[in-house]
Structure 1
Amino acid sequence: MTEAQQKRQDLQTYLLETAETFLRRHNSRMRGAGRALDLSITVREDDFNVFLEFRGEKQKSSLILPKARRNEFGNLVIGDRNDRALCPFMIVQNGQPAHVSYEQLIGALLSTNIEELFPQQGKRNYIDKILFGFQSGRGRLAVSLCQRFLNLNLFNALPLSGTPMQDWAMNRRM
């Protein structure tokens, strides 16, 4: 298995395990009230994206996450029509700076309290928001709001892919 395949598999496994952990925690809280959530979570991929799919009794929705790939020049990009160059990311949480990869940043944005990074998003993480959305019959809305947040603050914030040298510099900047 190549390094790129291993990273993709790790992202898929991480997303599935994290979402299922949050679902188990959510159901343990709601089971006492007789309101456990019957939801299945799957992860699948195509050439350009990883899909985190939520299927409830009456609703179904997918969160689409572009996956990192190498373009014809060997630079890391995301996207299928408009490539966007990737760079290493640095986030500061609990007062400590940390350098994270694209996959780690997606995991952090979905499953941790991002109030320090984006105060307008509130204290609840996005996986919890999605689960509570499905609980109240608004799962598709919760997934679309999460997708919008990721699109505006991560995917569309990356620069469009330019020349091979610009992409190379972007892959190596902080």
Structure 2
Amino acid sequence: MSLREALKNATRQDTDTTIMTVVSVDRNNGTCVCNDGELEHTDVRLSAIIDDKKQKMYVIPAVGSTVLVTPIEEDYALQFVSAVSEVSEFYVCIEQVVFDLDKNGFLLKKENETLRSLMLDLLSAIQAMKFTTNMGPTIALINKPEFIAIENRFKSFLKAD
């Protein structure tokens, strides 16, 4: 036996990663229920580490999709999703900043402010602009329909909180 084979055998785990199907997802608790074709596995973690900290990153699999489930420290009671075939949501929280991406768009939030609310407030302020000219104040924004169209595009692009 070569040194390379000996090292490979020494580091090999006795536990295997299993292909499973996602039955349901509990995004709030960071877990899902998966089925391996014979048994349902409850409380499969979406991340290897789940704790009380607010800082998290989840790649949330779609219900019905295929995932790879791996035991933590060879303990089949502690398993996590190590790879997903179909993502339904990507969620990252770092302190007061949240990035959440799904089929409805994305949310970028810092503390109580979102990119969507900032953009909509900016477009509302632009639409309400009035200027003083030599002939007096302007009455209405001439290209207001263009700004309304842009506002609607932002509403469909960015998710509400």
TM-score range, shorter chain: under 0.3
TM-score using structure 2 length: 0.22
TM-score using structure 1 length: 0.21
- The structure with more strand, counted as a fraction of residues: 2
Greater Cα radius of gyration, structure 1 or 2: 2
Relative contact order higher in (CA < 8 Å, ≥ 6 apart): 1
